[in-house]
Structure 1
């Protein structure tokens, strides 16, 4: 209760002080302004003139920044690899080749085009007659002196202005040479910008209705004016107008601001008495009314905004407000609380669904097996049992049992590097016995890592891939598989290499991933890759070295 009385006293005091300051400040200031009006008129004009000068400086700086932004944008355009590739290609020798060039150039221009018209002219334009007919660039022809000047410049271009007969307006064009990495000129890039774009960059003081901006060239001819009829005419200052000019960074052009002197002085005499009484009375009444009205609305809204910050930090508690309030603010607070309740329920549901989905996906991936391998092994055991009585049958059965025991293992997904290598060797031993084809296995592993915990069934699908698509394609006894286990940047890295035909072999379509992705598409390799990314994120998984020739090199990165 004491806290409520404290705030009530503060509000009451604030209202009294606000009313007292309104009477003691607004009226003396208005009276002083009325008495000193005639003497301060000249000073007001001077200050306003300085304001216009400052406005001109600011707009000139903004216009120079606009020039630089266009030039910087063209730097990215000329560095485009598709554009460089098109311009470096030999000139078309037929109509079909030129049509292909035009389609490619249209795609490149669409991808590079920003807010302005973009044109690209190859250096040898005479070899592109149909493409040349499509260009509508204003009064710029290939082979002109302007293009030669652009080719002479290394890291910049040329700004110029022309008259657009179609738009009936002045147009600015930035021309820049396109060069290869060895600085050989490949063509010309031109950006065409109507002058109204420049005028939109300029901001005039809102208090002057007849404030005028225009641009002139080095010979004082108008190159940009709100009225297009003044284009290319000599600029002559108007009598009775205040003007200021500022030279721009490009082409020796100047920005000129002009405003009637009458607008600067204004009709102060006519509004003097009106201002004295109306402004003072209106300020007092409006300030008081605005304070009372805005305060009744902004206080609960401010509290709601503060509560939103708490919601953003994870505190989804409901917003406390006066429930007897039935206006829009009360309805907004009630709807806001309903939204928080819905968010809380949705967040809980989403978390539960994501957890279930993750668990199901991990279980699905962990329990995927390749039945063909076990079927083939059992078939080989049956064949040997029926045809030849050898001790290899017992060995194959034992190793197959070890494989099954390791794969199932009561659903445990984790193992050690030592057991994972042993599991891969069991598989390779079975392959050697089953297929009666010999190959060599080399293992180089860091002894300090052998007891490290990893998710199981990583190596067996990779060495299986090496046997099926590498060793099986080589002559008897020529196959080699190398397994390396090492530490790199705080991670465990497995490298499986073979000397098979690699990706050049047409019988390895499962590794031909569209778009150049390194993610494998085979069931076994894809299983390993997805499991590792689900466990550890996108930075881990399988990477296939596509530059390895001959042979194939598969790298697996696993966190410590």
Structure 2
């Protein structure tokens, strides 16, 4: 194989093919491993975020339930109910002062250990009670008459005693508070509103909850309601999370998964079932992305290392394999140069070595056979010279038979002359100018002349029939194979009948085979055909010549279906002129 002027050896092609075949699975393995590990990192991040959000959600549930239970305790207390049912209080009467003092004491008692209850308002159009954790309030709470004009108040009354959460800046007087829990107070004797309760919640419980969660990773926490952020917490050590704008925060509470806001962050949400708040966790993705990239580099480095190791191993094995091939190539090159005396041995531990040893054996055997062939050709040439010398005797015999013929004509011995001519034809056709093959028509002429001699000898009781198509008479067959069978029929088949009978010769082509039949109506074989084939010299000679010339599937066969006489079949092959 040659490419761009560079020859690639078998070993080089093997290394290239094996490397390409080895490379694809490694690339696929590294790609899948990197992707699966990346998904595992994302799953780990998702589980960590869900665990942190779940814990935050539980703590928020605790705060909400604490606020709601405290609010219920205040609104259902007898002192609260009595104060709010006072429709025309005289603030300086002792009875009213006692009710007001009882409510203040109640607020102090139930909120004393709750430091996140920063502001409490309880009142209606007739009276109101305020409690501040700080002794100085930065802003006064507006009057009840002003409150009832606001949208939030109308929304609150529609809840019919159910608590509602608001942002601290929605109600004047509570702007210092993070959140406001508002609840309409119902009369315990009938479900009519008799006032409202407003509880201002500070940031301290939420900040404590969120700061306690920063264990394995930093996260920004956003609490939102109706797409409005009501609280946000950012770890102080993360400047990027702390510097996010309100617009970016609003985008995050509406997103999920990996979000790119100048840097990639992972966003996850959970909804609080009591308040309906959406709690959003925003985690910087830089560390996890670095972990993913590191794992990808690791997997592809492993794949590259395995590939290089595989290439080295393939080069090693290729060298071991091609070393035997090079040795075999050098041996073949030496044979092409005519050096047949080089003795080479190959290792039989692999197939190439076994092939090499077999090639050496074949070459040695071929060399021996070539020597034998040269000897045979030499002997054949000697035999041809002897045959040329022997041709002198046939010419002498032809001249002698010609002299006998003319003497028979001179003495008017017609039958003797005809017999001499037939004998001369038989002799001439059997020699066939020294050729091994003869046309079927000439072979049949030989048979005809032989039978003419026999008819002159035994008379007209001997009858002959030759039925061969004209197109088959040009087919060449091995010479002198039909006459011995006809002679066998005459001497063994008809001799017992006084030479009275019929000898019939037919020929038919069957595909690539030529079937010739010699049939007589004489006595047939006294024994088995196989025994006759072994003991009879003529039959045995013809059988061996046919098999040597045409192959083992050709030869002499007897037709077992003939009830009287004998029918011998010759099976030959029809060859092209070149063959």
The interval holding the TM-score normalised by the smaller chain is 0.3 to 0.5
Return the index of the structure with the highest Cα Rg: 2
TM-score, length basis structure 1? 0.37
TM-score, length basis structure 2? 0.36
